[in-house]
Structure 1
Amino acid sequence: MARTVRLGVIVPSSNTALEPLTSSIISFIQDPNLEITVHYSRFRVTTISLADDANAQFQLDPMLSAAQLLADAEVDVIGWSGTSSGWLGFDKDEILCKAIQDATGIPATSSIIALNELLGKTHAQRLGLVTPYEKNVNDAIRKNYASIGYEITEQREQHLGKTKNTEFGLVSEAQIGDMVAQVAAQNADVVTVYCTNLRGARAAVEWEKKHGITVLDSIATTVWGMLHKVNVHPSAVKGWGAIFELE
């Protein structure tokens, strides 16, 4: 009998990219002994900036409510597929995941918790950052990575200066690819596509081959983190980039 695994994902309400891409990544797991399904719950997020009202969207209570709705489906793990702790502070996701587990009994992870764990596995020396955000958001992200030993120079970051989340989802793969290329040309060995409403996950393999880099796409890192939590080796995912092949 096949093992049934249910993955629960918390989604920013205005995100249009992460659900189809997450489900597509999981569909590439072809294991007759596994039956994996993905289930989603939203909470309200419409803009990204450093303004107080934008940061207030990521308060604990609405995110915990979304997690509790996933718990009703008896999912095996809950993943927060968002990058807000990148500028708010990495401890925000640690606090959220502990609160989810305390409230539901279900293990939890996040895009950024998984991404930061993957950084250690890639032995990154020169990290590059690609986002749709305003420069001051990127600067806050860079500061937080410097605090854990990863300097992102100004030459190794690219941003689009956008704040409206629905606009992030309209950015083409080609435009994201151009940003990745610019960062890779500055000798980055690992490039993170740092927004779960950017459609970069599918092209990661192409960019890795073209530029000789590892791509840490924040949608894909959420999947990687959830699979680890339920003891499904990420190498079960084929064709979505180097992170699923790391030991």
Structure 2
Amino acid sequence: MKKRTLLGVLTPSSNTVLEPLTQAMVADLKDVTAHFGRFRVTEISMRDQALGQFNNEPILEAARLLADARVGTIIWSGTSSGWLGFDADEKLCDEIKAATNIEASTSVLALNEIFEMTEVKRFGLVTPYLDEIQERIIANYQSAGYQCVASQNLRDRGNFSFSEVTEETLMDMVRRAAEPKPDAITIFCTNLRGAGIVERMEQETGIPIYDTVATAVWKGMKVAGADPARIKGWGRLFGEV
């Protein structure tokens, strides 16, 4: 049998978008499949209860179950370190590797790697989040040397409700984020239908757009030893970075 690439993907329990989008991205690659593990996430806010959802142990238990499928990588397809701090993802990846002996990464660490590789300094940020979350994300990126020049958010605590935001709403947000001509725009939430609009909005705006479902797939492919450039029709990320 031809060698398979098995992508392990950690998923918020209330997310209904990232799984079908991830599957769609790899659908034409017969040797690549995505496999998912869930842990409970139902609200995005700075309340203690919401922050506690991202304690590592439930995530590690989901990762251990994914490891039973002998996946080639485990990717946290989520953006929590945007407000918790990037070191939260770095620690999580270290703990996943220690628990499973499988290399791990995240949507946000992948995005940061892409920003570095493509020399992004000024970026536009599109999210569904509350202002308190948006402000933390912007502050963390500023501390890392990135300037947010356009901020668009829907002021929703979600998480399920994020999946009901239409592509038309997201396209309008991307257009507004494009007005100051940033180096790139990120659609920063894995329960938004952003990946499906990336290619057409890149053509309309001329600006690279990095959706965090797509960054997880891009990094998962790389870590698992597969070529992300094999993925077609999902934006410049896969062919150019």
TM-score normalised to the size of structure 2?
Answer: 0.98
The separation in 2 between residues aligned to 1:47 and 1:191, in whole angstroms, is 24
Which residue number corresponds to residue 83 of structure 1? 79
Which residue number corresponds to residue 105 of structure 1? 101
Which residue number corresponds to residue 238 of structure 1? 232
> How far off is 1:5 after superposition?
1.3
Q: Give the conservation status (yes or no) of the 8 Å contact 2:186–2:211.
A: yes
Root mean square deviation, CA, Å: 1.0
The separation in 1 between residues aligned to 2:200 and 2:118, in whole angstroms, is 18
Give 1:129's match in structure 2, choosing from 125, 130, 145: 125
Runs of 4 or more above 4 Å deviation: none
Which stretch shifts more, 109-118 or 121-130?
121-130
Which residue number corresponds to residue 182 of structure 2? 188
Task: Note the 1:32-181 alignment, pairs <5 A.
Answer: 35-153=31-149, 156-181=150-175
What are the superposed Cα offsets for residues 167-206 of structure 1, whole Å, 9 maximum, x if unpaired? 1000001101100000101222300000000001011000
Write the letter of the residue equivalent to 1:228: K
Match of 2:93, SS state, is: helix
Which residue number corresponds to residue 194 of structure 2? 200
The share of aligned pairs that are identical, in percent, is 46
TM-score normalised to the size of structure 1?
Answer: 0.95
The separation in 1 between residues aligned to 2:203 and 2:2, in whole angstroms, is 35
Corresponding pairs, count:
241
The separation in 1 between residues aligned to 2:203 and 2:79, in whole angstroms, is 26
Give 1:215's match in structure 2, choosing from 209, 212, 235: 209
What are the superposed Cα offsets for residues 88-135 of structure 1, whole Å, 9 maximum, x if unpaired? 000011101110111111111100010100011222132000000011
Which residue number corresponds to residue 5 of structure 1? 5
Which residue number corresponds to residue 27 of structure 2? 27
Match of 2:154, SS state, is: coil
Which residue number corresponds to residue 15 of structure 2? 15
Write the letter of the residue equivalent to 1:52: D
Unaligned runs of 5+ in 2: none
Match of 1:169, SS state, is: helix
The separation in 2 between residues aligned to 1:241 and 1:121, in whole angstroms, is 16
Write the letter of the residue equivalent to 1:26: V
Q: Give the conservation status (yes or no) of the 8 Å contact 1:189–1:212.
A: no
